[in-house]
Structure 1
Amino acid sequence: MLKWSKRRAHQFFYLALFSLFVLFSLLHNQSASRLHGGMQKEDSATRSSFPTYLTTNSSIHKSSRVLGDSEWAKACGSSRSYKRKLRRSTRYQQPRRNRQEKCDIFAGRWVYDTVSYPLYDEGGCPYMSDQLACTKHGRPDVEYQRMRWQPHGCNLKRWNGSDMLEKLRDKRLMFVGDSLNRGQWISMVCLLQSMLPSGKKSMSPNAPLTIFTAEEYNATVEFYWAPLIVESNSDDPVNHRLDYRIIRPNSLFKHASQWKNADILVFNSYLWWRSGPKIKLLWNADDEICEEADGLDAMALALETWADWISSSVNPLKQRVFFVTMSPTHLWSREWNPGTEGNCFKEKSPINIESYWGSGSDLSTMKMVDSILSKVDYRVTVLNITQLSEYRKDGHPSIYRKFWETFSPQQLENPASYADCIHWCLPGVPDVWNELLFNLL
């Protein structure tokens, strides 16, 4: 009996000690939870519930306030040079291959295909843009519409509009970027719209966010104008031709609030960073003094903010994110035909030089973009259209498009002086970009 009582006493002692430990742990966790909750509550009072992601240069500026036109007009009364500089490199490495690829679908050649191409008729797409409708505006040749991309060592799954619509059922596909991304969006709309019966498809009026709806599939194909990714004075989809560009490198709230709920996002940003004078950096909405950076530094800052958003806001189990590499230009014919001084004007066939690379694709930018994308590797799929588009000097509108500006008699005498060697005719090269997207979804 005594032996049993001692054992019972020891058990009671250890039980009491264990109970005290559990009680202490619970009290500690509740205290920590209240402290954490208090910090979150305090944070939410100073910033929007949807985060604005910041670089190290701008960590003190947490306002999600969107600037109005009058504020942009008054911004950057004076400026100073931006101090941080990127390391310049002329060594190019091909962008990372996506892990799911069995072969590199971005390495290959263009072949002439009169059986399957074009994938749609230019005149049969009611949503075609006059900027891209080359046949409508007098282009006499049609061979550029009949080129198919053939990867080395494997075949692409052929485009199937019904399959694509099934992939998009109950989903939002959104293209985000500039006029080049808008061209890819129009291509996708034209590829799909013929599969839909009349009265079961619609297009919203042109706006920063323009939406094509496939009613029977409860699906939308959308385009959102954000040429510099972050908030800028160029965010108006019509009135964006300005003397200089201002960006808020740390402000993504305005744009991300539009795209955050899309199921499939296709981003593009490149051309706008290369043209014009230095870009002004407005770190704080109330700053009177801005910094000035060259296009590469400014683009890196914007993409770092974008990558922060991707890292913290994208659920890869529910959303797919694609980043389209730069779309090349063909401004100097001497690069593919030495001794000439033209551009893409009158070009009717692709470049047949294996791995051709012109000045329209900047190596330093490619390296910088790939470095940033490597930080969000599994959340973003790279749509590497650069090399395959480099071969297509024949694919641009040249003079065969609607121009809104008036040309001088001297320009009209020399059509190459105003030829558009930046955008792409439709049907054409952007259709293949969408075939690649179709294969990766």
Structure 2
Amino acid sequence: MASGFGSWHCLVAFFFVLGIGSLSCRAAAASGPYNVSQLRNCNLYEGSWVYDDSYPLYDASNCPFISEGFDCQKNGRPDKDYLKYRWKPTGCDLPRFDGRDFLERQRGKKIMFVGDSLSNNMWQSLACMLHSAVPGSKYFLTEEGKLSNFSIPEYGISVMWLKNGFLVASVAEKIGKVLKLDTINQGNEWKGNDMLIFNTFHWWLHEGESRTWDYFRVGNKTVKDMDHMEAYGIALTTWAKWVDANIDPMKTQVFFQGAAAAHYFGKDWNEPGVRTCQGQTEPVKGSVYPGPTLPGDGIVEKVLSMMEKPAKLLDLTLLTQLRKDGHPSIFAGQGKAFDDCSHWCLAGVPDTWNELLNAVLLQINPVQTKGTGLAPTPQPGVASGPHPGPASSPQPEAAPASSPQPVAGTPPSISSPPVPAPGTTPPSSASPPAPAPGAPASSHEPDAAPQSHHGPKSAGHAVLPAYVGHVLVQLAPVLFLILLL
């Protein structure tokens, strides 16, 4: 009898330890493979680029979401060292991105990037980073109007890009295109997301024919022109007021993607004989950029500091200033007549932007909760893994005609060729125009998404079994004790 009683005790102890071990493993998995403590009080944006042969984080040839203009290797770029650099903050190490851990921590969440083609650059990067972490997981890519949506139903996660170059309203009237600096007209699409990453900057620098608007308006006052950085400040203040009035920080995290540098003038990095970024194969050494600050430097920081609701700045300026080698240049799929020194190759520098986003999320909350909403269930007619067409191609963007600071984000007319950088030969008018951002991309797949024998997975179905499994494992010791009694 005693022996049997002891055996029962052993079994109970075994299942109890099993349950505790499960809890411990879940806690470890939630915090991820990161040394979170070293991130505390670390300035992630002061540092330098160091060569690391373990990079890039993914193989661009295996990522079906990269636009032609970002796919430098596919477009024939011969060098690869630009893929091998990682950002090293001065006071800590930037955690290497772990896609599976990110998916677990952001399970069930809706993440939306809102901004111009550099926002698109960052969105495509994150889509590639997540897809490469779970290449066997079913995914969907939908494009409707200005919204592109990448989702992985297994994790209930949706990562979106909503094209909006100014954040404020841009309306077509009889007099022409009017920028309404005190009006938000896309706000309803921003609501209901767990994470928002906003961006706007380069389009505000456009001058002359590269401008995509005709008038500014504040209230009832309409003017043909005004100081562009003053207009930028008014627009950002309008955006900030919208966030303060409409966002619950307990439900939605807000980030602002800082300005990324362009490289059209070699004198900015102490090479006065160099005209553009063409032929650059390595970063600027050190942690100080010798060139000028960006126009309007400090406007974003000032606006963010006055907000009632918190919005975190992803300060990308210095780390992008140092990466003169990271642009597509003549390998943007537009031929050698166009020199793109505004966008960024993928894989490449934007992957670091997402590593920084991940690091800031870890600083805020090392163990994050699951999202409040699940990714929307994909509808028929969307691109689905494993072989959808690429996301919308970015419009080629030109250096400004009259401004000393190069810009990005100009969406040329569909019917007209892109404006080349100063000093370059305009592309042939016979060249096919790039599709507008947000327009449905071409695909080798039929319109209807290929489905499994059981139909497409819904996000809810993907999340529920995980929860059930966790609960059963935790309750196993208790249930066993009840049976003994």
TM-score, normalized by length of structure 2? 0.62
Confirm or deny: 8 A CA contact 1:357 1:390 kept in the other structure: no
| Counterparts of 1:339 and 1:231, CA distance in 2 | 40
Q: 1:300 aligns to what SS in structure 2?
A: helix
- 169, 176, 188: which is aligned to 1:257? 188
Q: 1:193 to 1:366 in 2, by over 3 A?
A: same
Matches within 5 A, 1:75-224: 101-115=40-54, 117-196=55-134, 198=136, 200-205=138-143, 207-224=145-162
Residue 247 of structure 1 aligns with which residue?
179
Q: Does 1:309 align with 2:242?
A: yes
Percent identical across equivalent pairs? 36
Shift of residue 354, structure 1, vs aligned partner: 3.2
| Counterparts of 1:387 and 1:245, CA distance in 2 | 33
| Counterparts of 1:198 and 1:207, CA distance in 2 | 29
Shift of residue 323, structure 1, vs aligned partner: 0.6
Q: 2:161 aligns to what SS in structure 1?
A: strand
- Comparing 143-152 with 333-342, greater Cα deviation is found at 333-342
- Larger Rg computed on CA atoms: 1
Matches within 5 A, 1:251-290: 251-252=183-184, 254-277=185-208, 280-283=215-218, 290=223
After superposition, the C-alpha distances for 1:251-291 in whole angstroms (9 at most, x for unaligned) are 21x3111111111010111000001247622346xx79545
| Counterparts of 1:231 and 1:143, CA distance in 2 | 41
Residue 227 of structure 2 aligns with which residue?
294
Shift of residue 367, structure 1, vs aligned partner: 1.6
Residue 251 of structure 2 aligns with which residue?
318
| Counterparts of 2:63 and 2:306, CA distance in 1 | 39
Confirm or deny: 8 A CA contact 1:233 1:245 kept in the other structure: yes
| Counterparts of 2:221 and 2:303, CA distance in 1 | 30
Q: 1:159 to 1:199 in 2, by over 3 A?
A: closer
RMSD of aligned residue pairs (Cα, Å):
2.2
Shift of residue 344, structure 1, vs aligned partner: 0.3
Residue 6 of structure 1 aligns with which residue?
none
Which runs of 5 or more residues in structure 1 are unaligned? 1-99, 235-242
TM-score, normalized by length of structure 1? 0.68
| Counterparts of 1:187 and 1:275, CA distance in 2 | 26
Residue 374 of structure 1 aligns with which residue?
305
Residue 10 of structure 1 aligns with which residue?
none
Q: 1:440 aligns to what SS in structure 2?
A: helix
Residue 270 of structure 2 aligns with which residue?
337
Residue 341 of structure 2 aligns with which residue?
421
Confirm or deny: 8 A CA contact 2:98 2:133 kept in the other structure: no
Residue 369 of structure 2 aligns with which residue?
none
| Counterparts of 1:354 and 1:376, CA distance in 2 | 30
Q: 1:331 to 1:199 in 2, by over 3 A?
A: same
Q: 1:131 aligns to what SS in structure 2?
A: helix
Q: 1:398 aligns to what SS in structure 2?
A: coil
Which runs of 5 or more residues in structure 2 are unaligned? 1-38, 362-485
| Counterparts of 1:250 and 1:271, CA distance in 2 | 19
Q: How many residues align?
A: 317
Residue 14 of structure 1 aligns with which residue?
none
Confirm or deny: 8 A CA contact 2:52 2:86 kept in the other structure: yes
Confirm or deny: 8 A CA contact 1:314 1:379 kept in the other structure: no
- 337, 348, 352: which is aligned to 2:285? 352
| Counterparts of 1:323 and 1:336, CA distance in 2 | 26
Q: 1:288 to 1:440 in 2, by over 3 A?
A: closer
Residue 36 of structure 2 aligns with which residue?
none
Shift of residue 311, structure 1, vs aligned partner: 1.4
| Counterparts of 1:436 and 1:121, CA distance in 2 | 20
